Amino acid sequence: SLDDQVAISSPETLAALRTAASCLKDLFPVAFPTETVYGLGAIALNATAALKIFSTKGRPADNPLIVHVSSRRMLQTLLPQNYTLSPSYELLIEHFWPGPLTLLFPCDHSLIPDIITAGQPTVAIRMPSHPVARALIAVTDAPLAAPSANSSGKPSPTRAEHVLNDLNGKITIILDGGPCEVGLESTVVDGLHEDGNIRILRPGGITVEDIKRVLVKGFSDANTPIPQVLVHRRDFRDDALEQAPTTPGMKYRHYAPSVPVTLMRMSDAPLGIEPLSPSAFLQDLKRSMPHSSDILRVGLLMPSDSILMKSLINDTTIQWHEFPFGLVSEPAIIARRLFDGLLTLEREGVDLILVEEVPEENEGLAIMNRVKKAAGSSQWITIP
C-alpha cells in the first residue's frame, strides 16, 4: 500500500532499524537493502548528510540522487504547493509503487538541497517496496536520498556482502536484508514534458512493456490520446547516436568490475566487423590475453541453455568459471544475477569475464544497458 503502515517482524529488527535511524539523524550514511540494489542512504533534506554520500562513493557532484519515500503522504511533503499529479503519473504510481520505478517531479528548490538535484530543475523520487527500506524510511520519519551502495563506477551491490567488500571502513552500518529480488536499479521516468509523453531515461526494474500496458489500459476510456513511451537507446559503439541526454549519471563509465568484460554478441555484426567462430575467438584470446597463473581463467555469464557456452567450454585448456545465470527465456532471473555474477567472478580472480547478449526486450533492455557499460569490448560470434 501507499501509506505509512509497515510491519516489523521482531524486536531485533526494530532495534536495528532504530540504531540505523539514529545514525542517519547524526548525518552519517547507512547502507540498506531495496528490492533493486542496496542503497547508501542519508537524510535527503540535509545537505551535509547528502554530501557524505558523494564523498563515500567518490561520486561526481553533477550526478543527482534519487529521494526515497515510504508513503504517499511523504511524497506530498516534497512536492511544490498546489502541484497536482498528471493522470499518467497517477496511473504509474497506482500500478508500480511501491516498486522499482523512479519518477521525476518539479523541484521545490527552497526545500530540496541543490546537492541532491545537482543543478537539474527536477527531483527524482521513488517509493521502494523492500520492507526493510520502507521501514527504515518510516522509522527515521524522513525521506532518504540513496544511490547504489558501491564505489562510483563499480557494479551495484545486490547482497550485503557486496557492500561490505566495497565500502568496508567507510561506513558504519549495513542493514542485511538478503539478496535483492530485482537485481538492477529502478527505471527512471520523465513524464514532465509539455507533450505529455513518457520518457524512459534509464531502463530498469519496471519494463517499458509494463509501462506501455498500464498507460494503454488506463487511457482507454479517456478522451485524451494515450501518452507515448519514448526510450533513449544507446549503443556504446556509437556515442554520437545519443545526442539527447538520458540521466546525468548515464554518461559515466559504470558497472565495471576491475576485470575486463567482453560482450559476446550473436546478433548481426556491424559493417566492417568480421564475426569469429567460437574456436577462432578462443585462439585469439589465448594469444592476446595476459594472465597471471599458468592457465587462463575465464568467467562466464551466460544462460544455462546457451549454445555459445556449450561450444566454448569444450576447450579444456581454459579454466572456466560458470556463474548460474538462468535460462534464455528467463530475463528476470538474468537481471537478478547480473551484478552478483560480475562481483562474484571478480572475487574469484578470473582474468576475463564473457557476458552473452540477451534480446533487448522486457528485462533484457535494462540488462543490455548495464552490460554495454560494463563491457570494455564486444566480440561478434558465429554459431554454426
Residues contributing to the annotated binding site for L-threonine: 36, 68, 126, 146, 186
Among 50, 66, 137, 334, binds ligand TXA (CB under 6 A): 66
Of 333, 330, 300, the closest CA to residue 315 belongs to 300
- Cβ-proximal residues to 362 (8 Å cutoff; 6+ apart), any chain: 207, 209, 331, 332
Among 16, 49, 50, 65, binds ligand TXA (CB under 6 A): 65
Interaction residues for ligand TXA, span 174-203 (CB under 6 A)? 185-186, 188, 201-202
- At position 276, the amino acid (one-letter code) is L
CA separation for the pair 261, 101 (Å, rounded): 28
Q: How far is the CB of 45 from Mg ion (least distance, A)?
A: 21
CA 110 vs CA 24, 79, 80, 81, 190: distances in Å: 22, 11, 10, 12, 22
CA separation for the pair 186, 202 (Å, rounded): 8
Task: Residue 124: name its binding partner from ligand TXA, Mg ion, none (Cβ under 5 to 8 Å by kind).
Answer: ligand TXA
CB nearer ligand TXA, residue 38 or residue 380: 38
Task: Residue 369: name its binding partner from ligand TXA, Mg ion, none (Cβ under 5 to 8 Å by kind).
Answer: none
The residue to which cell 517509493 is assigned: 127
Using the Cα atoms of residue 116, residue 144, residue 214 and residue 91 in order, give the sign of their dihedral.
Answer: negative
Among 102, 158, 207, 344, binds ligand TXA (CB under 6 A): 102
Residue 208 has, within 13 A of its CA and on its CB side, a CA count of 21
Our finding on whether 350 is near ligand TXA (CB under 6 A) is no
First to last CA, the chain: 51
Among 119-127, 135-143, 307-315, 341-349, which window interacts with ligand TXA (CB under 6 A)? 119-127
Our finding on whether 207 is near Mg ion (CB under 5 A) is no
- Cβ-proximal residues to 276 (8 Å cutoff; 6+ apart), any chain: 284, 379, 380, 381, 382
Nearest to Mg ion by Cβ — which residue? Answer: 148
C-beta separation of 157 from 163 below 8 A:
yes
Among 60-68, 214-222, 293-301, 320-328, which window interacts with ligand TXA (CB under 6 A)? 60-68
Our finding on whether 36 is near Mg ion (CB under 5 A) is no
C-beta separation of 124 from 44 below 8 A:
no
Our finding on whether 88 is near ligand TXA (CB under 6 A) is no
With CB under 5 A, what is the number of residues at the site for Mg ion? Answer: 1
CB nearer ligand TXA, residue 126 or residue 321: 126
Among 17, 146, 163, 381, binds ligand TXA (CB under 6 A): 146
C-beta separation of 94 from 154 below 8 A:
no
Per-residue mark of binding to ligand TXA, 202-241 (x: CB under 6 A): x---------------------------------------
CB nearer ligand TXA, residue 187 or residue 306: 187
Pairing outcome for strands 144-145 and 39-43: antiparallel
**Helix 331-347, helix 363-374: angle, nearest 10:** 20
Among 32-40, 90-98, 310-318, 350-358, which window interacts with ligand TXA (CB under 6 A)? 32-40
Q: Which residues are annotated as a binding site?
A: 36, 59, 63, 68, 122, 126, 146, 148, 156, 186, 202, 255
Interaction residues for Mg ion, span 117-176 (CB under 5 A)? 148
Our finding on whether 34 is near Mg ion (CB under 5 A) is no
Strand partners, 39: 32, 148
Among 118-126, 161-169, 268-276, 277-285, which window interacts with ligand TXA (CB under 6 A)? 118-126
Pairing outcome for strands 101-106 and 122-126: antiparallel
Q: Which residues bind ligand TXA (CB under 6 A)?
A: 34, 36-37, 39, 63-66, 100, 102, 104, 117, 120, 122-124, 128, 146-148, 185-186, 188, 201-202, 247-250
